[in-house]
Amino acid sequence: MSVPPEDGREEGQERAGARAPGELSLQKSTRWDGLVACLALEGSSARCTAGTTVSTGPTDAVSVGLDNHHRIIRGYALRMPTRSRSKGLEHCVECYLQYHHRLRCSQLRCSERRFGSCAPSRVSVLQARGRGMGVDIAKDDRLLIDGELVTVVAVSQERAGFRCIVRSPIRGLDEVFVRFGDVASCRVPASDGSGDSSRAITAVWAQWMRWAIPRIRSAVLATRPLRPYAHQDDAVFGVMLSQPRLRFLLADEPGTGKTLMSGMYLAEGRRRGLVPGKTVIVVPAHLVGKWIGELKRFFGIDAHRVTAEIGREPLDLRGDVDVWVVSLDLYTYNTDVRRKIVGSRASWSLAVFDEAHRLTPTSQYLSAARQLADATHHLLLLTATPHRGKEQFFRALLHLLDPAIYPWDPAEKTYDHALRPGRDNFLRRMKEDLRGLDGELLFRPRFAETREVFLTPAEADAYEAVMGYVDTWYSSDSVLARSIYGKRAASSVTAALETLRRRRAALSSSQAGRVAPIAPEGFDSSDLSRAALDSDEAWHDAEEAVLQARSSDRRAELEAVTAVIGQLERALTSKDEAAKWQMARAIMTHHGISPGVGQLLVFTEFTDTARWLAEVFRATGFSTEVLDGTVDQTGREELQLRFLNDRFQVLVSTDAGGEGIDLQSAHVMIDWDIPWSLVRLEQRAGRLHRIGQQHEVFVYHLVAADTREGRVQQVMLDNLTAASRALDGRLYDLLDATVDRTGFNFGAAMAATYRDPSAVGAVIAAVPDAETLVARAQEIVADEDRLKTPVDPAEAMQRLAADRLQAINPVIVSAFVDQAVQVEDWNVTTGPTPGIRILRSGSGPLPGSFGGGEECLIAADAAAVAKAQEDQFRRAGDVVVLGPTEDPFLELVERAVRRCEGDLLAGAAAVDLASLTGYTLFVYTADLEHHDGIRRVRRAVPFLIRYSGAGAFPTAWESVMNLSRATTTPIAPVPAARIEADEAARDAVTAEAAQMERQQRAITAKTRADLGDIERRYKRQVRVLDPAARREALDRFAALRADRLALLDLFDDVSHTTPTLLGWVQVSGGARTDELGHDPDSEKVAIAKVVTELEGLGWSVDDRQTAGLGYDLLARRPGTTDQRLIEVKGFAAGIKPVVFEQHEWAQAQQRGNDYWLYVVLHCAEQPTVVIRCQDPAGTLAGPRRIERFKIPVSQLRHLMESE
């Protein structure tokens, strides 16, 4: 909406002499007390003194140059205060434009920097509803604008009405224009009890959601199908999120969930405002799809791929996309893409590099990464191999993070000491130290074994025929041709046959004018030592170069190829089973894998072998699928999901297909072919040996010993297996590094067997023995252990246990939705699959976040959507997930506030069916302000106060679930009630601020300690410098340390405002003694009995009876994460039906295994605990919604019998 003109013209009427876009003018305005507007554009600035305004008028525009094109800002007047008495108005021009027009701070600067709270605000006109006689509006008045309660901060009268700066609890500062005729209808209604009961209860529910959502530590995971482990929680919430500027190397071992931890940081950082802008994620090409898929599946984040086509577009990256994923090669080598990402106009909140060990000083990747490191605020590097015994490479990575703290000289190759980074910059946890939520080891043992295979006579003849053809028709020094054909012939007759058929097709086509392709760099050498042996694209191009090579005698070679093809076709008809297939069947029999029972993962290098092998498996009764490089990302995800859900037994995968995919439902793997890159062997085993694996992992390497390369492979793998056993499996993730440290080049050795078959014996003699491998591996393990971070899961486990008490799970979300739709004239019905419901609008379209149609599918839990996808429900992708931090849910909360706030303010009546007596609920709000590392932020926090004859005190929001609609008209609270409630609210606000300050100080205390450790290590680093250079380095560090300590001081300061009353609800007791489901007089005796029992068993017990939480006791077992939320029901004599009140049954459903029901009988004489029921919601056949639930005596007797 536009701002009404200052000179009295009607809206839409153009001002004479309108300025051209790009011009900035200063215009006199109605006098505002203490207001000044400041706006600075690049290269020039304009400043108004008090009493003037920078304005564009209703139809003019300011055009701000940005990214080689223009963004137009239309029709806004921009103002901000300078005087201290206008404390409420902290939002500056810079912040307004930055957030609402997506301009960066580098393009627009506010000349006043004193205003710290720079949260987004909007400048608009909200037209008040209704008509009436105009009255005056003054500072501090409270108005109801579009159903929202706001406070006037500053006001000026104009010809048509009042222009007001107001504070909104939703949006912060706002500008509204109230016409004279609308003033009366904007007045806050009298607090006379005239509010609608249902709407007032909905308003209290909405305030509960406002209170709860920011308090959930990991709100982004509340309704997502991801439950982090202790080490993941510790990394994200214990280390990363506490840092105002993250410069971090996350170096946990393979399979520990680094991708998920990165997603957790991104999602929670965006929610908290730590990552307010755009994010770019740089990954190897084969992982781009995986990152995009997992960000969407686990966190609901829509990430987009940067392509070469996007790089060629003249405009910058799309402004409506917040997360981009780009391949490392494309970013490094494509100049258009590089310019888009790190050009002079680029600015990022967060940059992530996956597989950061590729950023080596010998590659162009490192210099490209340095450019991005300079263009981003937060930088996160991920790698499972940060060191690999190369101190120079490790220091180069740390230098990317913080050049001041981790200096690095590319010319320096040796170091007199190893660098140990601080916890604020580095984290590395080892697999053997990680434990699950149950305290058990996360990673099961793994074993590898080499199985020797001898080709059948038909296979041996086919192999010799193929190699004979190559020796005849390719030059004597063509190691590449022998390698291509020999590897395929050793894999399967089918793979060799299809290769020869492609060669025959090339020979059959005309060679006139055809230019033969050139082999990739390194593949044209005799030892392939410089070849990219772990690149599928390189091998593919190398094969094309061999198959498309020109022939010295095309006709004769064509006859020879045809003859060999005939021999191979006859070999396929042999009665003998393939030798490797016989061994595979023996392995499956050993592990009890048979048609319909068990799962198996098979890796091969060749798609031809994979497809043939799949047919062999299917022919013997195994349900089998193939995963190769031709399967797109959607297909890969579907195959992965089906395999993990045991929908088929055998997955035959190529290396290209299996990259970046997790398949831990199987625990047996067969390497049908042995790749020439040991890194590939590590990656293959990593598909199974990762978090979620429930069994010991067995990997079998099949080696055809009577092939040219087979004997060398067998010796190498046998020695590696022996060394791994000696090191308790630590070598399996270090195969390549260990062999490399011995000086042996595995790929070159494989090539040597084809260059000169007679030299195989010499190659075998050069293979490092097991003792040498153990010695070199121990050196690497020592390096790894020096860098590893001790794992103490206790603190993280305590946080996870606390989360279970605070979480708003789908039960509460669904209940709020049911409450909110009542005031929206919407309707919710059962949906097509469990957990998915249909939301319909009674009149008009639904909000845009719900699709904007007449109806939509909704779910309170992403797990329900995932289950629908598994069941192939085709509309699963259309479901709107209503998690606590999802935009649709947040919009629903704010709509409920706006629509119902007036009824709460006026006061209303309600009934509590769980209470025998009446009371009054008062709802207050106060602003708490603290520094989040980037700026000071202010958050409105609601408080719930309960008043009865005994006084006023804070009460749990969960008690709101007991409120039902009343038909009576309440009486306004007496002044004494308001006075006591005000005092209780002030105490609650003070306590909340003190708790937040303690939390802030706990965070900064750790950071200060880590900074001290970094300083001590830094001083040791610079001891080798000459005195002058050392002094200079120490001075730089001291200045850096002072800056960071000053920022930490800002963290410690928490302030708050005086609480403001939002409204009240007078609640009458609706319970009857004979319907309570327990004896009130026996309750104290029963609880005392349970407390005595638990304390005798070593539990620590906290009484929560009066808090209204939905349970009576919170019991914790010291030193563990065991906790019980206990609801106690007591009876004076024998058993009677037990009743769960609404909030109790809601807690039972929400807390699951943490919730317990204890029933105590004979409280009048000899109290006895007869029922201790864990997870009553899961055990009893009760409703799956929030309502009162009575347990019949028959079910209670069944529970008693099970004691």
Looking at the predicted structure, is the pLDDT value of residue 294 above 80?
yes
User: If residue 930 lies in a helix (H) or strand (E), which one and from where to where?
Assistant: strand 919-931
Rounded to an integer, what distance in angstroms lies between the CA atom of residue 1037 and that of residue 1043?
Answer: 10
Determine the average pLDDT of the residues in 1129-1139: 90
Specify the pLDDT at position 77.
Answer: 33
Confidence of residue 111 (pLDDT cuts 50, 70, 90): very low
Specify the pLDDT at position 1001.
Answer: 85
Looking at the predicted structure, is the pLDDT value of residue 763 above 60?
yes
Specify the pLDDT at position 149.
Answer: 78
Rounded to an integer, what distance in angstroms lies between the CA atom of residue 18 and that of residue 8?
Answer: 16
Q: Is 541 exposed, middle or buried (0-12, 13-18, 19+ CB in 10 A)?
A: middle
Looking at the predicted structure, is the pLDDT value of residue 218 above 90?
no
Count CB-CB contacts under 10 A for residue 231: 26
Name the more confident of 1184 and 488. Answer: 488
Quick: pLDDT tens for 847-857. 988 988 999 99
Taking a C-beta distance cutoff of 8 angstroms, is the pair 852, 845 a contact?
Answer: yes
Quick: pLDDT tens for 246-282. 999 999 988 888 999 999 999 888 888 889 899 999 9
Name the more confident of 220 and 1155. Answer: 1155
Quick: pLDDT tens for 679-718. 888 888 888 888 888 899 999 999 999 999 999 999 999 9
Looking at the predicted structure, is the pLDDT value of residue 992 above 90?
yes
Taking a C-beta distance cutoff of 8 angstroms, is the pair 208, 198 a contact?
Answer: no
Confidence of residue 1164 (pLDDT cuts 50, 70, 90): confident
CA–CA distance from 199 to each of 69, 206, 396, 946, 966 (Å)?
48, 10, 61, 19, 11
Determine the average pLDDT of the residues in 8-27: 34
Specify the pLDDT at position 222.
Answer: 61
Residue 680 tokens read as 């590939």
> CA triplet 137, 138, 144: central angle to 5 degrees?
55
Looking at the predicted structure, is the pLDDT value of residue 929 above 60?
yes
Specify the pLDDT at position 874.
Answer: 81
Specify the pLDDT at position 805.
Answer: 65
1073-1201: CATH number: 3.40.1350.10
Tell me 238's DSSP state.
I
Longest dimension (CA), the chain: 110
> In this prediction, what percent of the chain has a pLDDT beyond 70?
86
Specify the pLDDT at position 147.
Answer: 66
Pick one of 3.40.1160.10, 3.50.50.60, 3.40.50.10810, 3.60.15.10 as the CATH number of 225-429: 3.40.50.10810
Instruction: Determine which of 34-43, 637-646, 720-729, 894-903 has the lowest per-residue pLDDT on average.
Output: 34-43
Compute the mean pLDDT over every residue in the chain, rounded to the nearest whole number.
Answer: 81
Please state the φ and ψ torsions of residue 1197, each to the nearest 5 degrees.
-65, -35
Residue 226 tokens read as 């991801």
Rounded to an integer, what distance in angstroms lies between the CA atom of residue 899 and that of residue 896?
Answer: 5
Looking at the predicted structure, is the pLDDT value of residue 112 above 70?
no
Determine the average pLDDT of the residues in 837-856: 89
Rounded to an integer, what distance in angstroms lies between the CA atom of residue 280 and that of residue 341?
Answer: 8
Looking at the predicted structure, is the pLDDT value of residue 808 above 70?
no
Residues 6+ apart with CB under 8 A from 1075: 1139
Specify the pLDDT at position 657.
Answer: 65
Query: In the block, which residue shows the tokens 């006023």?
Result: 952
Specify the pLDDT at position 884.
Answer: 79
> In this prediction, what percent of the chain has a pLDDT beyond 90?
37
Quick: pLDDT tens for 147-199. 677 888 888 888 888 999 988 876 778 888 988 888 877 877 778 898 999 99
Determine the average pLDDT of the residues in 370-382: 95
Looking at the predicted structure, is the pLDDT value of residue 318 above 70?
yes
Residues 6+ apart with CB under 8 A from 455: 463, 579, 704, 706, 707
DSSP letter string, 1022-1085: GGGS-HHHHHHHHHHHHHHHHHHHHHHHHHH--EEPPPEEEEEEEEEE---GGGSSS-GGGHHH
Residues 6+ apart with CB under 8 A from 480: 519, 523, 524, 528, 542, 545, 546
Taking a C-beta distance cutoff of 8 angstroms, is the pair 1147, 1157 a contact?
Answer: no
Q: Is 833 helix (H, G, I), strand (E, B) or coil?
A: coil
Instruction: Determine which of 8-12, 758-762, 989-993, 1192-1196 has the lowest per-residue pLDDT on average.
Output: 8-12
Taking a C-beta distance cutoff of 8 angstroms, is the pair 158, 147 a contact?
Answer: no
Confidence of residue 224 (pLDDT cuts 50, 70, 90): low
Domains of the chain: which residue ranges? 26-188, 197-216+807-906, 225-429, 457-576, 911-1071, 1073-1201
Determine the average pLDDT of the residues in 642-654: 93
Query: In the block, which residue shows the tokens 């797109």?
Result: 632
Instruction: Determine which of 70-84, 235-249, 502-516 has the lowest per-residue pLDDT on average.
Output: 70-84
CA–CA distance from 326 to each of 224, 266, 288, 353, 824 (Å)?
25, 16, 7, 10, 43
Looking at the predicted structure, is the pLDDT value of residue 8 above 90?
no
**CA-wise closest residue to 254 among 685, 717, 657, 669:** 685
Specify the pLDDT at position 858.
Answer: 92
Name the more confident of 492 and 67. Answer: 492
Cα dihedral angle (40, 45, 50, 54), rounded to 10 degrees? -60
Name the more confident of 487 and 61. Answer: 487
User: If residue 555 lies in a helix (H) or strand (E), which one and from where to where?
Assistant: helix 554-571
Looking at the predicted structure, is the pLDDT value of residue 84 above 80?
no
- End-to-end, the C-alpha distance of the chain in Å comes to 67
Instruction: Determine which of 192-206, 283-297, 363-377, 726-740 has the lowest per-residue pLDDT on average.
Output: 726-740
